[in-house]
Amino acid sequence: MTENPFVPEFGVPLKVEPMRVRRTYSGGMGIDHWHNEAGRFGLERPEEWLASVTPAINPGFAKEEGEGLSRVEWQGKSLVLKDLLTQFPQEMLGDEHCKNLGGELGILAKMIDSAERLSIQVHPDKEFSRKYFHSDYGKTECWYILQTREVQEQEPYLLMGFRPGVTRERWQHCYETQDIRGMIDCMHKVTPKAGEVWLIDGGFPHAIGPGCCLIELQEPTDYTLRTEKTRSDGSLLPEQLIHQGAGEEGLMECFHYDTLEEEQLRRLHCLEPECRACRDGSVWKKLVGVPYTQCFSMVSVQVKERVDLPSNGGFQVAVVVKGEGRILSRGGDTVLRQGEHFFLPARMGDFSLCSNGKEPFEVLLCYPPHSMPVPPQED
């Protein structure tokens, strides 16, 4: 087949511009430090969305055009990523991906930093989303804990999963009476550690506590249903942010009322990575994916010298967690620095990650559904 001369090669990573997003909670200090830009955004933008084609749902805030939609640097221009996917779906996403999902990205990656506890919440599973939101995507997500810290002498924590004895009737009573203490007592409280990976399925109750800095990979929606009607400052949340239009009965229906002992919680939701050591001392870790979920996959590559990674025919989102190095691809060399993130087009093909050798160098690779991570190649 003759190549279309007007279709770009896409042989190098596309650098994604920072996209800070407003939420109902405060935070972001950890993200600022990650970028070595302490205090740039204050506490009003606690999330950075990475290679996103998902608009942020922010009723109650002043409208910001394009909030949540990432832009990439391409041929000296700043372009909306979603527009590039529409214009060049096969080149950007891959032939097999387009057969399965069309021109949709299929994932959303974020960095989250909390200065306070988030609202007690739940996300829909696919069935609920189809019924109430006419969407094929729910909002199953996973958290890769980067670091934690004390906030105003309060230890970091996560709330998740119903404890034994909790029923829908009890949970609904807590909601109707706005018994926040009662809601908290219904859930497990766990202390997160750097390097842990937690899977939060649709329907699973949860809330990130203060002092948590993490990478979140999720299905590509912004559907969050909340059982708290007020923010931490006492101001009322818009009704849309409580039940997303599903109504209060729908809100209660969204939860899965399975209960767990703490041992079960850790066994089922704190994931054990699949590790592969390379000869040079580098480590490839599959953090999440099949068999835990079919919604997405995420790999951590801790590079000692060089890791050669074969293409699986699809795209990846690369996040530089720490350190500095390079990515070598058929289009040339690209410098990678901590805090930067890139869209790796399907047509880029095989690539290598190389450390500068001066400090630990870790890159996260995020994959959509139907796209299996391929371990490193070694001669």
- Res 118: pLDDT: 98
Question: Do 250 and 308 reside in the same domain of the chain?
Answer: no
Question: Do 100 and 231 reside in the same domain of the chain?
Answer: yes
How many separate domains does the chain show?
A: 2
Domain that holds residue 313: 274-367
Question: Do 245 and 325 reside in the same domain of the chain?
Answer: no
How far is the C-alpha of 208 from the C-alpha of 213, rounded, in Å? Answer: 10
Question: Do 257 and 360 reside in the same domain of the chain?
Answer: no
Among 269, 291, 311, identify where a domain stops. 269
- Res 1: pLDDT: 39
Question: Do 208 and 85 reside in the same domain of the chain?
Answer: yes
Question: Does residue 373 lie in a domain region?
Answer: no
- Res 377: pLDDT: 79
Question: Do 181 and 75 reside in the same domain of the chain?
Answer: yes
107 close to 137: Cβ distance less than 8 angstroms: no
What are 286's strand-pairing partners?
Answer: 274, 299
Residue located via tokens 């000692």:
304
Question: Do 287 and 260 reside in the same domain of the chain?
Answer: no
- Res 40: pLDDT: 75
How far is the C-alpha of 285 from the C-alpha of 276, rounded, in Å? Answer: 6
- Whether omega for the bond prior to residue 238 falls within 30 degrees of 0, making it cis, is no
Nearest-CA neighbor of 140 among 298, 373, 315, 308? 298
Where the chain has pLDDT below 50, the residues are: 1-2, 5
Question: Does residue 372 lie in a domain region?
Answer: no
Among 269, 295, 328, identify where a domain stops. 269
270 close to 262: Cβ distance less than 8 angstroms: no
Question: Do 214 and 335 reside in the same domain of the chain?
Answer: no
Helix (H) or strand (E) holding 224: none
Which strands, in side-by-side order, build the sheet including 206-208?
Answer: 187-190, 158-162, 206-208, 121-122, 225-226
**For residue 20, which phi and psi values (nearest 5 degrees)?**
-85, 135
* Residue 132 region by backbone torsions, left for phi larger than 0, else alpha for psi between -120 and 50, else beta: alpha
Nearest-CA neighbor of 24 among 100, 87, 140, 117? 117
Residue 353 sits in a domain of what CATH number? 2.60.120.10
Chain mean position to CA 362: 17
378 close to 279: Cβ distance less than 8 angstroms: yes
Residue 377 CA neighbour count, 13 Å, CB half: 10
